Amino acid sequence: MFIIHGSSRENGNTEQLTKMITEGISVSEVQLRTKNIRPINDQRHAELGFQPVDDDYEQISKEMLEHNTIIFSTPLYWYGMSGLMKNFIDRWSQSLRDKELNFAEKMKTKKMYVVIVGGDNPSLKALPLILQFKHIFEFVGASFEGYIIGKANSPGDIRLDSNTIQQANALNLKLKNEN
Amino acid sequence: MFIIHGSSRENGNTEQLTKMITEGISVSEVQLRTKNIRPINDQRHAELGFQPVDDDYEQISKEMLEHNTIIFSTPLYWYGMSGLMKNFIDRWSQSLRDKELNFAEKMKTKKMYVVIVGGDNPSLKALPLILQFKHIFEFVGASFEGYIIGKANSPGDIRLDSNTIQQANALNLKLKNEN
Amino acid sequence: MFIIHGSSRENGNTEQLTKMITEGISVSEVQLRTKNIRPINDQRHAELGFQPVDDDYEQISKEMLEHNTIIFSTPLYWYGMSGLMKNFIDRWSQSLRDKELNFAEKMKTKKMYVVIVGGDNPSLKALPLILQFKHIFEFVGASFEGYIIGKANSPGDIRLDSNTIQQANALNLKLKNEN
Amino acid sequence: MFIIHGSSRENGNTEQLTKMITEGISVSEVQLRTKNIRPINDQRHAELGFQPVDDDYEQISKEMLEHNTIIFSTPLYWYGMSGLMKNFIDRWSQSLRDKELNFAEKMKTKKMYVVIVGGDNPSLKALPLILQFKHIFEFVGASFEGYIIGKANSPGDIRLDSNTIQQANALNLKLKNEN
């Protein structure tokens, strides 16, 4: 299982929630805030195509491809995923053109989960983001297995969102059984 | 009028469409791909609050605040705005805490437009992004005046999307009259 | 607490789920399929305004207004609420013009819940319906307190959706405490 | 071309807009308000399956199946299609089980258009309905060719929505050429 953390804050509410979901499960994970990931430079139509970029994207994406289950864990920033995570996903356009990667082939088999924590009525206002992830996963042919939307404002508040914690525990059980 | 270009490609379809919309109108604009904008570092809950960041964000955001009408022009990357643009908007959280900026006060009065060009059925698959912008503009109290969603794949294809061009021309007339 | 059942089937999955949510709570309820509710005849602009309709709508809507908490319980028919329920809500336009009812005034104070059961990936494909209810409740100024989306195809299948049942039980506890 | 009118008002704004779209084109059409269409009685799981219903549904649906292009024309009632139209679509579940109809087979080839007129910010608040139609058409395998969302409150106001009228005229040209 591979976790992509999109939060800019260490051990924030979203990370805490994701930890509950993956407790007792062996995971690989990346905190995007600790990495250097350049925005996509759309060279799909450039004569020479995409040029290599000297940053951490390629290594992270390759690690991602090795796992069957991927968790996208992001706070709800301005009613979307964080820019950190969006830049990571934008770069998939480059990976899709990399003939050696077999990116498209490998993504098709993956099981995707989304974990979001927001402060402003997220059970309603995160729904456009869920719909966006639906399109993303459909495009690469991956299976959107589930999502959890938590509510928290101040640090640690996610522990007060009992309904979400219950869902996290249930998902934890499910993932343990699958693993 | 201020235009925020989120595309990574110079003079791409989205920019061409936005040019049609603003033809003959005096505009200020920024190409985010030519600027250095760091992802947000969420220090809302840090003891010292947000710390200054040495990049181009502050200058751009201040310029944005001087205009009454703002156009968000972005290609549809993975069914959302580009990471370049998302990082710019994520940083508004910092501006909201800057007491000297009067960010919240000034944003309330603004008229917002969104211009999107996508290749994969954008008239349906860009709708989650429109809903996200709706939430963004509601949060800052700005008025969501309108949006145009164009369809294009290869460079220059937007000129074949006659329905969208017609809408662009109509919006151009409206904006000229308002200006 | 008032429950509006929109299903056409007696004791179907949606009703079973709603029963779990309200177990041990004294409720008033209406099965719309057993009632005669005419589609709205939009006479907002007619000279004489809305004319009385000889059906069950008025009695049901008056009963609804007497309760603080309302549960909209509907199967996901064609990715929306049932036509039975939609006709009921469409008629609110008439109630809003009835000066003696104080419909608008009374709806503002209500707490709304939505219960949906669908067979085709409802956790994603019922989201447009959730967004529609959001607009409906915002229009009347009521509070959208929560929703539960269950998955079931054959009769009784809802009992296999353990994640949803867990949420139903949690909501049951919450409602009991509030009552 | 077949037009399904869901409005409860004769010659209302939605009908006027749809007339502009189909001017000069030979169409068959049905005003659902003049027909008797019962809500679905979900007998998918009943021993004997769906029983015949004595109303106008079957005749209308058969007429619909004879056309390649179908326009769903509905005012935005409570942020959804009218209950009149929803009851018509709900009944498709019955048609899908009717072995002689070949409903599924025939629907797959159809080109669908949606015309909506609303009064309360429809360009944003009708989007959940567009997403619902997307799911509906995907389910039957039909092609969602396009939609137009107009804004009008009082009778005749649609004629003031110049942007929408322009789109209507453009669609009219396109449909004329296809026909």
Tokens read off for A98: 């990399």
Residues of B with CB under 8 A from a CB of A: 7-9, 12, 33, 39-42, 45, 75, 77-84, 86-90, 92-93, 120, 125, 127-129, 131-132, 135-136, 139, 154-155
Q: Is pLDDT at C26 greater than 80 in this prediction?
A: yes
Neighbouring residues of D176: CB distance < 8 A, sequence distance ≥ 6: D24, D25
pLDDT 10s digits, B12-43: 999 999 999 999 999 999 999 999 999 999 89
Beta strands in chain A (DSSP E): 2-5, 28-31, 69-75, 111-118, 143-151
Residue B58, in any domain of the structure: yes
Neighbouring residues of A42: CB distance < 8 A, sequence distance ≥ 6: A93, B7, B8, B9, B12, B75
Specify whether the CB–CB gap between C176 and C142 falls below 8 A: no
pLDDT 10s digits, B118-171: 999 999 999 999 999 999 999 999 999 999 999 999 999 999 999 999 999 999
Specify whether the CB–CB gap between A107 and A141 falls below 8 A: yes
Neighbouring residues of A158: CB distance < 8 A, sequence distance ≥ 6: A13, A14, A16, A17, A117, A150, A151, A152, A164, A165
Q: How many alpha carbons fall within 13 Å on the CB side of residue A52? A: 2
- Among chain A residues, the shortest Cα distance to C170 is held by A163
Tokens read off for D25: 């084109």
For residue D92, what is the domain's CATH number?
A: 3.40.50.360
Tokens read off for A132: 């966006």
Specify whether the CB–CB gap between C69 and C4 falls below 8 A: no
Provide, as residue numbers in chain A, all residues whose Cβ is less than 8 Å from the Cβ of C135.
Answer: none
CB atoms D124 and B146 under 8 Å: no
| Confidence (pLDDT) at B71 | 98
Q: How many CB atoms lie within 10 A of CB A14?
A: 24
Q: Is pLDDT at D178 greater than 90 in this prediction?
A: no
Q: How many CB atoms lie within 10 A of CB B80?
A: 26
For residue B96, give the amino acid letter: L
Residue A77, in any domain of the structure: yes
Q: How confident is the model at residue C178 (pLDDT cuts 50, 70, 90)?
A: confident
Once rounded to an integer, what is the mean pLDDT over residues A111-128? 98
CA distance linking residue D143 with residue D140, whole number of Å: 9
For residue D55, give the amino acid letter: D
Tokens read off for D152: 């009008």
| CB burial readout C6-38, b (16+ within 10 A) else e | bbbbeebbbbbbbbbbbeeeebebbbbbeeebe
CB atoms B170 and D162 under 8 Å: yes
Smallest Cα distance from C111 to chain A, Å: 15
List, in sequence order, every residue forming a beta bridge with A117; answer none if it has no partner. A75, A150
CB atoms D81 and C77 under 8 Å: no
**Angle (deg, nearest 10), helices D83-90 and D57-65:** 80
Interface test with A, best of C113, C127, C161 (most A CBs within 10 A): C127
Lowest mean pLDDT among B24-38, C64-78, D24-38, D45-59: D45-59
Specify whether the CB–CB gap between A22 and A71 falls below 8 A: yes
Residue C45, in any domain of the structure: no
| Confidence (pLDDT) at B83 | 98
Q: How many CB atoms lie within 10 A of CB B161?
A: 19
CB atoms B130 and D130 under 8 Å: no
Cross-chain CB nearest to D163 (options B123, B162, B170): B170
**Angle (deg, nearest 10), helices B57-65 and B83-90:** 80
Q: Is pLDDT at D179 greater than 80 in this prediction?
A: no
Q: Give the containing element (helix H, strand E) for C18.
A: helix C13-22
CB atoms D7 and C42 under 8 Å: yes
Closest alpha carbon to A16 in A156, A120, A147 = A156
Neighbouring residues of C102: CB distance < 8 A, sequence distance ≥ 6: none
Q: Is pLDDT at B179 greater than 90 in this prediction?
A: no
Residue A80, in any domain of the structure: yes
Smallest Cα distance from B171 to chain D, Å: 8
Residue A48, in any domain of the structure: no
Residue A119, in any domain of the structure: yes
Q: Is pLDDT at B178 greater than 90 in this prediction?
A: no
Specify whether the CB–CB gap between C60 and C53 falls below 8 A: no
pLDDT 10s digits, B94-117: 999 998 999 999 999 999 999 999
Distance of CA B126 to the CA centre of its chain: 14
Smallest Cα distance from B167 to chain A, Å: 25
Tally the domains of chain C.
1
Q: Is pLDDT at A179 greater than 80 in this prediction?
A: no
Range of the domain at B31: 2-40+53-178
| CB burial readout D120-158, b (16+ within 10 A) else e | eebbbbbbbbbbbbbbbbebbebebbbbbbbbbeeeeeb
Residue C98, in any domain of the structure: yes
- Tell the residue number behind the tokens 């021993």, with chain if given: D47
Is the complex ipTM more than 0.95? yes
| Confidence (pLDDT) at A178 | 84
Q: Is pLDDT at A29 greater than 80 in this prediction?
A: yes
- Mean pLDDT (chain A, rounded): 96
- Mean pLDDT (chain C, rounded): 96
Residue C74, in any domain of the structure: yes
| Confidence (pLDDT) at A171 | 96
CA distance linking residue D61 with residue D72, whole number of Å: 13
Q: How far is CA B96 from CA B6, B105, B140, C137, in A?
A: 21, 9, 9, 29
Specify whether the CB–CB gap between D74 and D82 falls below 8 A: yes
Using left for φ > 0, alpha for ψ between -120 and 50, and beta otherwise, residue C49 falls in left
